[in-house]
Amino acid sequence: MSAKFYYFAATGRGQQIRLALAAAGIDYEEINPGAFPPTQEDKDTWQAIGGNTTTNVPMLQLADGKAFTQSSAVLRAVARLGGLMPPADDDDKMYRTDKLIADADDLRNEAYKTFVNWGLPQEAADAFISTVLPCHLGNLERQLIEGGNDFFVGEELTIADVTVYDAVTTFGSGRVPGDALADFPHLKALIGRVEESPKIKAFLAGPHYAALMKFGPETLGK
């Protein structure tokens, strides 16, 4: 299967989808706008494909022309296409997956309030480091322990692990100086298992990921 993925040449909200595509083994061409912010021509192109009158990226378009927009909806679509969702008739696992996707989005949303290099207050960044991020990491650690498995939803990698991995690393530990996961050993071990998953490991070691703009300590004023 081949697809086109539309997003900026940065990690951001598109990164969990790239990771999911990698884990699912779905080949895709990434199409980035020429600039940030995007031109009106870029926006018109996205709207023509995705149909939304607000924003359409991250957006995935399949070979047959079918398009998916809204990051969590695209994430779920990739998970279904790539066998990363739990069985649809397992209500408990489906709920846990949906909840973890929402938990990861909560962490991303909080993180986006703390980009000092975008003009947001240093106080928000400091609170994120000292209080907000540890609260979210503790919530994820608790759920992993309660699940009793190597991964969040059973013994194999699922979309729940992919989205949590992205939220924790792209928006948390990759930005905070030092070891933000030191007090969360189960979650830290999960991060390591995701990174050792062969397809994700290959993606993270590849030129595509290397070329992306990433969020570092400078986003927190550090």
The DSSP annotation for 82-149 comes to HT-SPPTT-HHHHHHHHHHHHHHHHHHHHHTT--GGGT--HHHHHHIIIIIHHHHHHHHHHHHHHHTS
User: Could you report the per-residue pLDDT of 54-70, keeping only the tens digit for each?
Assistant: 999 999 999 999 999 99
Question: In CATH, what number does 2-83 get?
Answer: 3.40.30.10
Q: Where are the domains of the chain?
A: 2-83, 91-197
User: Could you report the per-residue pLDDT of 23-80, keeping only the tens digit for each?
Assistant: 999 999 999 998 889 999 999 999 999 999 999 999 999 999 999 999 999 999 999 9
CA contacts within 13 A on the Cβ side of 40? 0
Are domains 2-83 and 91-197 of this chain identical in fold? no
User: Could you report the per-residue pLDDT of 153-194, keeping only the tens digit for each?
Assistant: 999 999 999 999 999 999 999 999 999 999 999 999 999 999
Q: How far apart are CA 141 and CA 115, in angstroms?
A: 25
- Please identify which residue in the block is written with the tokens 């905070």: 176
Q: What is the pTM of this model?
A: 0.97
Confidence of residue 2 (pLDDT cuts 50, 70, 90): confident
Bond from prior residue into 121 cis (ω within 30 degrees of 0): no
Q: Are 29 and 39 in contact (CB under 8 A)?
A: no
User: Could you report the per-residue pLDDT of 90-119, keeping only the tens digit for each?
Assistant: 999 999 999 999 999 999 999 999 999 999
On whether the 91-197 domain is CATH 1.20.1050.10, my answer is yes
Q: Which pLDDT does position 1 carry in this prediction?
A: 65
